[in-house]
Structure 1
Amino acid sequence: MKEIQPLDPLEEPVTAELKGCVLAEDVHAPYNIPRTFTTNVDGYAVRSSDPPGTYKVLTSRTHALSDSLPDGHIFRINTGAPLPAGTDAVLMVEDTQLRSTYPDSNGEENEVEALAQVSPGENVRRPGSDVKEGDLVLEKGQILHSSGGEIGTLAFVGRTRTLVHPKPVVAILSTGNELLDLQKPITVEGDGWGGIWDTNRPSLQAALEGFGYQVLDLGIVSDR
């Protein structure tokens, strides 16, 4: 406790290799997540005031998100994508029926029948509903566990690199003339007994490697 200090922080890329490291900085969300109104299902962005009926289908290739959705149309949208202007709800695919496709388009929808009317905000996530800009998402000193949650959080807020205390390399050794290495036993001379097996070293190595540390085995040191 007196001699060993935390290793100096290093800026490292956010990958699975960070598991077992200790975060050396507070991490804040750089922007709202999601940034805009987005869908949490696959379906069609609609105006909640639109009744059931048959509608023309627009997509991101045929309609700009910044333009208001024209009357008589719905907008095909995938989970996590932003809603186009003028829409306030998302109709699930399961609540629609395909009515026509474009010729020679491999099934591209032309018209879809909406079988239900949705409420305002249905299947929609609001800007900042996960985290708001400036929110503290991970604290300095947090272990980045091998279960992956903390590394996933770094990725979630768009961090490509972060400051961490690297994992130390741990050297282990056993001491005592009476000890025998399981794999390279050398019989103790002179006392009429063979010695005892060194159990600490392999046990400690297994435990440390289980925690994700690199271990340097220094073997058995005599009593000199």
Structure 2
Amino acid sequence: MGSPFLSYTRLDEALRLILSGLSPLGWEEVPLEEACGRVLFSDLLSPADFPPFDRSAVDGYAVRAEDTFGAGENSPRRLRLVRGKAGPGRAVEVMTGQPLPPGADAVVMLEHTRRKGKILEVLAPVTPGKNVSGRGEDVRKGERVLEGGRRLGPAEVGMLACLGLGRVRVFRRPRVSLLSTGSELLVPGERPRPGKIPDLNLPSLTCAVLSCGALPVPLGRCPDERGELRRRLGEGVEKGDVVVVSGGSSVGRRDLVPGVVEEEGELLFHGVNLRPGGPTAFGRVGGKPVFCLPGFPAACLLSFTFLVRPALRLLQGLPPDRGLRRVEARLARKVASSLGRVDVVRVRLVERKGELWAEPLRVTGSGILSSLTGSDGFFTVPEDTEVVGEGERVEVELWEGISPAPGRARPA
């Protein structure tokens, strides 16, 4: 049994079908050291002012500002060094972050003083509040400091620690079952044999899943056998929140995956107007989303980027888009497309006279992985456009880890 596609589903409709059945996963609580890269589950309100008291912003001496007025290098103001409480004619030594002593309203920086025994010479005046971080200056009690749905980075984790939190609620990371199909596949590094090729997709998809913040559950490789495929699909549904199968998604005699998905559950579409990536299918088995991606490596990764990545982001409480950085560039060479199809044009970024240009790569097939490794990103030609002319501005989406800075772009 098979499910040959007779027409292509539009890309936007395919995305609608995928996302309409999904909602963010529940929350889990993790320690701060495991929070980086996770997505905050709900808005976070500060339980207290921070800093919780007036504190010194520098190393120096806490004083009454009025005692320093008129101070200069040749006319220093002399104050008596004391401990504990400042007051008229008195100064208290403080370190950065220490509470401001009672009686003080400013701090003189260490380098603007001279110390002579128990006498402090102040060489520059300060005004009230100078070099002091006031209570609640950073965060006020009850203030929303982080919004739910925000990915936590170093600054956000630091803020959590600042608020005295040791653990935080985040969206659960989706588990993604990954299965490569094809009787011709070898484990990478395995001794070559006639008619066999190394499996590129499983390692690539594992990396792609991790880059989305999700958890890969590699299930290995499966031959083109209906019974074994059915068994492995069931294993994937049991172990993962999402199942991604590469290979066997087209309409050939050995392309069994969409048919098995239809037998075990429901098949929502088979074929998308995306190039490369047309023979992509999607369905549900046991209530779990199942993606059937092309076996050709470039088509497989691009289908993942356009269809799977938004779904994994949604499950983590992020916007259901590709989430890639974008830069504007001029197109270095005319690109022709076909009406009714969304073309993904892989490009290299080059700099010409201070301006960024996108240079299309010449690609001959969906399996050409070098079209991805040799590119900085891609832009899409919409389905209603036949030609994008040389010199036109295009929006380039950058592969993760690629910087649009001139230092990264290659000179023309």
Could you tell me how far apart the structure 2 residues matched to 1:83 and 1:196 are?
A: 70
**Aligned position for 1:190:** none
Partner letter of residue 56 of structure 1?
Answer: R
In structure 2, distance between residues paired with 1:172 and 1:20? 22
Residues 222, 3 of structure 1: CA spacing in aligned structure 2 closer, same or farther, 3 A cutoff? farther
Q: Which amino acid aligns with 2:123?
A: L
Question: 2:90 maps to what in 1?
Answer: 73
In the other structure, the counterpart of 1:180 is: 186
What residue number does 1:106 align with?
none
Distance across 2 between alignment mates of 1:6 and 1:186: 43
Match of 1:43 among 53, 60, 64: 60
Cα separation, 1, equivalents of 2:129 and 2:155 = 29
Pair 1:186–1:8, CA change in 2 (3 A): farther
| TM-score, normalisation: structure 2 | 0.45
SS in 2 for 1:84: coil
1:197 is matched with which residue? 198
Identity of aligned residues (%): 39
Residue correspondence of structure 1 range 129-148 to structure 2 within 5 A: 129-145=137-153, 148=154
Equivalence map 1:7-156=2 (5 Å)? 7-13=25-31, 15-51=32-68, 52-59=76-83, 63=84, 69-100=86-117, 110-145=118-153, 148-156=154-162
Q: Take 1:199 and 1:47, find their aligned partners in 2: how far apart are those partners?
A: 70
Gapped runs of 5+ residues in structure 2?
A: 1-17, 69-75, 226-412
Rounded to whole Å, the distance in 2 between the matches of 1:154 and 1:16 is: 11
Give the 3-state SS of the residue equivalent to 2:209 in structure 1.
helix
2:167 to 151, 154, 161: 161
Judge conservation of contact 1:29–1:134 (CA < 8 Å) in 2: yes
Q: How many residue pairs were aligned?
A: 200
Other-structure match for 2:220: 219
Q: Deviations over 1:143-195 (max 9, x none)?
A: 223xx1221121122222221123234332201223232233574xxxxx513
Contact 1:20/1:211 (8 A) holds in 2: no
Cα deviation 1:96-155 (Å, max 9, x = unaligned): 11201xxxxxxxxx332212221122112222221211111111122223xx12211211
Report the alpha carbon displacement of residue 202 of structure 1 after superposing the two structures with TM: 1.3
SS at match of 1:50: helix
Asked if the contact 2:38/2:213 (under 8 Å) is kept, the reply is no
Give the aligned residue type for 2:100.
L
Q: 1:48–1:119: 8 Å Cα contact kept in structure 2? A: yes
Tell me the distance in 2 between the aligned counterparts of 1:144 and 1:117. Answer: 42
TM-score, structure 1 length as denominator?
0.78
Using CA pairs below 8 Å that are at least 6 residues apart, which structure has the higher relative contact order?
1
SS in 1 for 2:103: coil
Unaligned runs of 5+ in 1: 101-109, 188-192
- Partner of 2:177 in structure 1? 171
C-alpha distance in structure 2 between counterparts of 1:31 and 1:197, whole Å: 57
For residues 169 and 74 of structure 1, the distance between their equivalents in structure 2, rounded to whole angstroms, comes to 60
Give 4+ residue runs of structure 1 displaced > 6 Å after superposition. none
Structure 1 or 2: larger helix share?
Answer: 2
Decide whether the 8 Å contact of 2:35 with 2:168 is kept in 1: no
Q: CA RMSD in A?
A: 2.3
- The answer to whether the 8 Å contact 2:106/2:127 transfers is yes
Asked whether the 8 Å contact 1:20–1:167 carries over to 2, the reply is: no
Shift in Å, 1:5: 5.0
Cα deviation, residue 53, structure 1: 2.6
